[in-house]
Chains A and B, each alone.
Chain A
């Protein structure tokens, strides 16, 4: 009896937590901002999806812990959790009908009330419809447990595809417009929104394909062992062709997003050497980026600040300055690393953060204005020229970034498995032990900082050539934090993790403009939740995972020993 009461208490508590999350998204303006984007035309918006998501999730969660209970009770729990999760929003509706909250909480406005009451206003009908909608969402979440496993997988996959295509409508339009004319395209999309019919077709196709695939795999049996060589070659070849054709396929706007992702991958690869491999927590990575960009700017600019106007030197072009930027960044990285070699962990993080801010403030100051332009920045940086072809615009610059990324990936993966890489990992795990094992820790750390800086410098140089102008405001702490978040969320020390991290954290907010405002909120939330739930990252490296999880693996045997 008491366990039953405890179960219900859990249901109510998780319902309240979900309601708190829903209230939070409402108050910070996320719901209304996302309401701008329709997922399926005239059917539902991203805001509505976000509104019911906590209730669905909590319904699913309450069902997960009670597999053996009868179906009716399972659904009842979902219903209760869903209705409970509507309580905070109901309170919000009530309060906002009595007081004008908008003078303090800027997001509690007509739009929010309209959204959470499903157009029924603050009255009883609005409250009832909100409670019943979230209750239904809770039942839906609980119902997922009652579907047979194979069908469930297929349904969820199909749903994910449909929602993905709906949310990333712009990307879908770009892709389809390569193959279809305007008329055919208008069957699929209106502006960038998926129409209901193609959404249903997509859902059905993916559903059937998934069912067929799971049936096919079951009857054929799973193939064991590594893929044959020919298949590996086809995969690599296919990937290479895809990467080369990508900017042509997706058009200019998305190529720009790809270029940004590429720059962040490049910086992520660099910072990964310091943070992921050597465990040197560098919060001032923007320093290297800025040094690279300003080197490129000052040496190639055709404006007043360019060396061309100042000294009449005209030999510098992008290709010549790229290695120069790399060397200058390496040199600054080396110089700045010298004084911080003794510091560890938190102190190192704060000191490097200090460097990053000092560089930004110096770039802004009047003192260095004659050299690097102060707040006005460096203008007129020419685009790179490749054997007479001017590489202007994201679709062409993409190839430079792709090349740099591939090179950096190659170097990183070689370093990962080298003697130096193993030394770095030893330092990361325990510096004192590493030193006792005969590793020259000062030398290793300097090397890590220097190589890490080089990649940042290259990214900065390409960034300067890409934009054509650079301003000190581009080089703030947020760059360091962005890069740091993507390597942490992808998985420290893991190369695929960096790419996954950059795609998610840089690509997604740029494709979803509504998301941009909440980008840093998302980074913060992800960093905290990742550290709590999955500290090794989305796509972890095996070594780091072992290291992070070490404490947990050891704990159970100790308890066992005590019991024995």
Chain B
């Protein structure tokens, strides 16, 4: 009698579930098998058909790496903040937008005055600095106004605030600069291709990749080799002990938001030079979500992880539709590029929330 009762309790809509967590485990394992099977079938089909040449795959790989390095730069902002506050700064995509959207006006005035063509590198540096400054300001204000008063609130509260702040930033910029699409000017020296043997790499992609690497190295140096970096790491390890050691927590948190914002702003300009079109108030949403995916993929809170995750996601997004979806016979697979990214996001959250390089998060953190 008792036994039947327990069984009937574990039925939902008539679907029997084994008691407790094992039912969920079963579903997740089944899901894992299905996904691996789909990937193998799809990839196998595409490769057997020989639809693309080696050069074409390589071109996709490079495009993916370039796009991925932009994701990586934004992802660093998520990871830095998460490492210190254990919260997801949902509005970080909009911090990226703020820099990119504001700088488009400066970039176009540089273009009109001829400065961009006469001194391209200097002009780009100034643009990046300006965008970094704007994004940094937005990020710091965000922390000061929206997040700091809620540092000890229940978990749901800062999350709601972050979503609200995200919309606030988006629609503020829509109000300020209008809802139309703007475009970055094209820079002459980024147009060509760079060839090694039979392999051609567009210079724009090379530029994006290299500038991202430089910025990441700067960040790595800052965090690992400087005094304030040491303070950041100590706050991330244990806030209370860090306070006892004389670290000013508020200052470190503001600094972290500032660094994350500056990287996002610089990423905004790099993104604008790489893909000039489509600058508007909503441009931060998709890069933001994807960068978050990248941060989780690499292990959130882990700086090299975010870089790796970004590159990885960029490559998957570029290759995935052609490799897997084509092979499964899905028409116009490139339309589903974002589906790949979002599926990746959900899958990472399901199967490996600690990411590639991340520590095993305890249930409370995840």
By a beta-carbon cutoff of 8 Å, the part of chain A in contact with chain B is 24, 27-30, 103-107, 279, 281, 283, 330-331, 334, 338-347, 349-351, 353-355, 357-358, 361-362, 364-367, 432, 440, 442-443, 446-447, 450, 477, 481, 484-485, 488, 518, 520-521, 523-528, 530-532, 535, 547-548, 551
Of the residues A27, A351, A524, contact of B171 by C-beta under 8 Å: A524
Query: Which residues in A have their C-beta under 8 angstroms from that of B167?
Result: 481, 520-521, 523-524, 527
Query: Which residues in A have their C-beta under 8 angstroms from that of B335?
Result: 361, 364-367
Query: Which residues in B have their C-beta under 8 angstroms from that of A440?
Result: 9-10, 19-20
Q: Is the CB of A350 within 8 A of B171?
A: no
Q: Is the CB of A443 within 8 A of B168?
A: no
Q: How far is the CA of A72 from the CA of B271 in the complex (A)?
A: 58
Query: Which residues in B have their C-beta under 8 angstroms from that of A107?
Result: 175-176
Q: Is the CB of B150 within 8 A of A28?
A: no
Is B166 engaged at the interface, CB distance under 8 Å to the other chain? yes
Known: A339-B350, A350-B88, A366-B331. A442 touches B177 (CB 8 A): no
Q: Which of the segments B62-70, B129-137, B155-163 contacts the partner chain?
A: B155-163
Q: Is the CB of B332 within 8 A of A350?
A: no
What are 21 A-B contacts defined by CB distance under 8 Å? Answer: A339-B31, A344-B363, A344-B366, A345-B155, A346-B88, A346-B159, A354-B346, A361-B335, A361-B342, A365-B336, A366-B335, A367-B331, A367-B335, A520-B170, A521-B167, A524-B169, A527-B165, A528-B145, A528-B165, A530-B164, A532-B161
User: B100-119, CB under 8 A of A: which get 1 and which 0?
Assistant: 00000100000000000000
Nearest 3 CB-CB pairs, A to B? A28-B175, A527-B164, A524-B167
Q: How far is the CA of A374 from the CA of B340 in the complex (A)?
A: 18
Query: Which residues in A have their C-beta under 8 angstroms from that of B169?
Result: 524
Q: Is the CB of B164 within 8 A of A361?
A: no
Q: Is the CB of A442 within 8 A of B171?
A: no
Q: How far is the CA of A484 from the CA of B10 in the complex (A)?
A: 30
Shortest CB distance B139–A (Å): 15
Query: Which residues in A have their C-beta under 8 angstroms from that of B47?
Result: none
Of the residues A24, A281, A334, A355, contact of B346 by C-beta under 8 Å: A355
Shortest CB distance A532–B (Å): 6
Known: A366-B331, A523-B167. A548 touches B154 (CB 8 A): yes
Q: Is the CB of B168 within 8 A of A281?
A: no
Q: How far is the CA of A257 from the CA of B186 in the complex (A)?
A: 46
Shortest CB distance A454–B (Å): 11
Query: Which residues in A have their C-beta under 8 angstroms from that of B177?
Result: 104-106
User: B138-158, CB under 8 A of A: which get 1 and which 0?
Assistant: 000000011001101111111
Is B278 engaged at the interface, CB distance under 8 Å to the other chain? no
Q: Is the CB of B21 within 8 A of A442?
A: yes
- Which B160-217 residues have C-beta < 8 A from chain A? 160-161, 163-172, 174-178
Closest B residue to A342 by beta carbon equals B24
Known: A338-B24, A548-B157. A442 touches B170 (CB 8 A): no
Select the residue from B20, B154, B163, B331 with max chain A CB neighbours within 10 A.
Answer: B163
10 A-B pairs besides A106-B177, A432-B363 with CB distance below 8 A are A339-B27, A339-B350, A350-B289, A357-B338, A443-B10, A526-B164, A527-B161, A531-B150, A531-B164, A535-B153
- Size category, B interface: 35 or more
Q: Is the CB of A339 within 8 A of B346?
A: yes
Shortest CB distance A174–B (Å): 30
Q: Is the CB of B159 within 8 A of A367?
A: no
Q: Is the CB of B13 within 8 A of A450?
A: yes
Q: Is the CB of B346 within 8 A of A525?
A: no
Closest B residue to A104 by beta carbon equals B105
Query: Which residues in A have their C-beta under 8 angstroms from that of B251?
Result: none
Q: Is the CB of B172 within 8 A of A521?
A: yes
Q: How far is the CA of A531 from the CA of B147 in the complex (A)?
A: 10
Query: Which residues in A have their C-beta under 8 angstroms from that of B39?
Result: none
Query: Which residues in A have their C-beta under 8 angstroms from that of B88?
Result: 346, 350
Is B122 engaged at the interface, CB distance under 8 Å to the other chain? no
Is B17 engaged at the interface, CB distance under 8 Å to the other chain? yes
Shortest CB distance A133–B (Å): 23
Q: How far is the CA of A107 from the CA of B175 in the complex (A)?
A: 8
Shortest CB distance A14–B (Å): 16
Is B87 engaged at the interface, CB distance under 8 Å to the other chain? yes
Query: Which residues in A have their C-beta under 8 angstroms from that of B9?
Result: 440, 443
Query: Which residues in B have their C-beta under 8 angstroms from that of A523?
Result: 164, 167
Q: Is the CB of B342 within 8 A of A27?
A: no
Q: Is the CB of A346 within 8 A of B176?
A: no
Q: How far is the CA of A550 from the CA of B296 in the complex (A)?
A: 32
Q: How far is the CA of A505 from the CA of B27 in the complex (A)?
A: 39
Of the residues A104, A334, A443, A484, contact of B163 by C-beta under 8 Å: A484
Q: Is the CB of A340 within 8 A of B350?
A: yes
Known: A355-B346, A524-B168. A531 touches B13 (CB 8 A): no
Q: How far is the CA of A66 from the CA of B330 in the complex (A)?
A: 70
Shortest CB distance A134–B (Å): 22
Q: How far is the CA of A548 from the CA of B150 in the complex (A)?
A: 12
Q: How far is the CA of A528 from the CA of B21 in the complex (A)?
A: 36
Q: Is the CB of A521 within 8 A of B24?
A: no
Q: How far is the CA of A302 from the CA of B142 in the complex (A)?
A: 51
Closest A residue to B331 by beta carbon equals A366
Is B228 engaged at the interface, CB distance under 8 Å to the other chain? no
Shortest CB distance A218–B (Å): 40
